[in-house]
Amino acid sequence: MKLSSLLPSALYLFSATSAALEQRTGVVRTGDGVSLSYTQSGPRRGQQLLFIPGWRQTAAEWRKQVDYFAGAGFRVTTYDMRGHGESEKPDFGYRISRFAADLNDVLEELHLKDVTIVGHSMGCSVAWAWWDQYPKARSHVSSFVLADQSAVMVRDPHWTEEQAAELSSIFTADAVYDLANDMAAQLPGLVKSMFTSSISESDYQWILSQNTKMSDANAAALLIDHALRDWRDVLPRITVPTLVVAGNASIFPPAGIEWVASQIPGAEHYTFSSEEKGSHFAFWENSGKFNALVEEFLNA
Ligand SMILES: *[C@@H]1O[C@H](CO)[C@@H](O)[C@H](O)[C@H]1NC(C)=O
């Protein structure tokens, strides 16, 4: 065999090994003393990506993105929010404003610069709150990828059906409190509704087990705060390139997610069709398409 044909695979092995060697797991202490678990993968000098999970979800659920982007030469960070996954679970701080402060602590402690923040669901709300509350730190973020979060989850009872539909405000306030007060019973069905019917039983059970790492009481407190926020005034003030991702088979109908994209200056958006498994978890159910979209956006 000629050396020239050996070389690419040898180089590939070398880079794959060195990327794996640079995997690091640790803890960030927040300003109010809570330990958040984080993982970093990929070459240390790679372009920075930070993935933020949704409500009750975990950093481990991003593994199809972590593997792909670390392998593609990015430095990929994920973390578990307070009360979630492997992070500490204090009995305080379950509100989006505190989660934005926690995000700022993660960015500072890990010295993340020129970072693209990829948020899923409530992870988008955390990013929006952070953008609103920490204007001096905005220069550290180079772009956003926002997956499937409406700007207003709870409809104002004075709105028409059309107004609620335009924003994908899928909850009434009563529905949020009903869910918060009946969390244990409703969680399995709620999680199932976030996927297409083609989710395997083992994937579903695993995702459910990630959700139950958070206590129902903490999840309920956070849900109420999260659901009642309104981000409409923040979106037009986002000044970094943004990709918004929606799904035609999501619990959030795509109209309100496309509305989010329409409000962010210059934002791009993509809506996964039902055939493309465009559920609330398109990044999990169709990771190939999701990763390709994000990579294309980052390379543009
Ligand atoms: C979107 O979903 C509706 C049903 O909810 C279906 O009729 C339509 O064909 C879907 N479109 C795409 C592009 O997936």
Q: Is residue 7 part of a domain?
A: no
Which tokens in the block code for residue 119? 């948020």
Give the CATH number for residue 129: 3.40.50.1820
Name the residue of 273, 276, 277 whose CB sits within 8 Å of the most ligand 1 atoms, as the mutation to test its pocket: 273
* pLDDT at position 23 over 60: yes
At residue 73 the predicted structure's pLDDT band, cuts being 50, 70 and 90, is: very high
Return the pLDDT at 9: 45
Q: Is it the case that residue 95 has pLDDT exceeding 50?
A: yes
Q: Is residue 147 part of a domain?
A: yes
Tokens 């044909």 belong to residue:
5
Given a contact cutoff of 8 angstroms between Cβ atoms, the answer to whether 119 and 93 are in contact is no
Q: How far is the CA of 278 from the centre of ligand 1 (A)?
A: 10
- 146 within a domain of the structure (yes/no): yes
Question: Is a pLDDT exceeding 90 seen at residue 106?
Answer: yes
- State which residues form the domain around 262: 19-299
Which is the closest atom of ligand 1 to the Cα of 276?
14
Which has the minimum average pLDDT: 12-16, 84-88, 222-226, 249-253? 12-16
Phi, psi of 101 (to 5 degrees): -65, -40
Whether 1 is in a domain gets the answer no
Q: Is the dihedral of CA 188, 81, 230, 162 positive or negative?
A: negative
Does the beta carbon of 15 sit less than 6 angstroms from any atom of ligand 1?
A: no
Mean pLDDT of the chain, nearest integer: 94
**CA 273 / ligand 1 centre spacing (Å):** 7
Ligand 1, atom 6, lies closest to the CA of 274
Share of the chain above pLDDT 90, in %: 92
251 close to ligand 1 (CB < 6 Angstrom): no
4, part of any domain: no
Residue the block writes with tokens 């979209």:
293
- Using the atom order of ligand 1, give the atom closest to the CA of residue 275: 14
pLDDT at position 2, please?
43
Look at residue 13 and tell me if it is in a domain: no
pTM: 0.93
Residue to mutate (ligand 1; options 193, 270, 274; most atoms within 8 A of CB): 274
Nearest atom in ligand 1 to 272's CA: 14
- d(CA 32, CA 233) in angstroms, rounded, equals 28
In this structure, which residue's CA is closest to atom 9 in ligand 1? 274
Say if residue 184's pLDDT is above 60: yes
Give the phi and the psi of residue 87 in degrees, each rounded to 5.
Answer: -80, 165
Is residue 3, in this structure, part of any structural domain at all? no
* C-alpha 247 to ligand 1 mean position (Å): 10
- Which ligand 1 atom is nearest residue 271's CA? 13
User: By percentage, how much of the chain surpasses pLDDT 70?
Assistant: 93
Rounded CA-CA distance 286/31 in Å is: 37
Measured in Å, residue 248 CA sits from the centre of ligand 1 at 6
**Domains held by the chain: number:** 1
Nearest-CA neighbor of 183 among 94, 77, 297, 60?
A: 94
Q: Is 255 in the pocket of ligand 1 (CB under 6 A)?
A: no
Q: What is the mean pLDDT of residues 125-154?
A: 98
Residue 10 included in any domain: no
Please, which pLDDT band fits residue 8 given cuts at 50, 70 and 90? very low
| Alpha carbon of 143 to ligand 1 centroid (Å) | 30
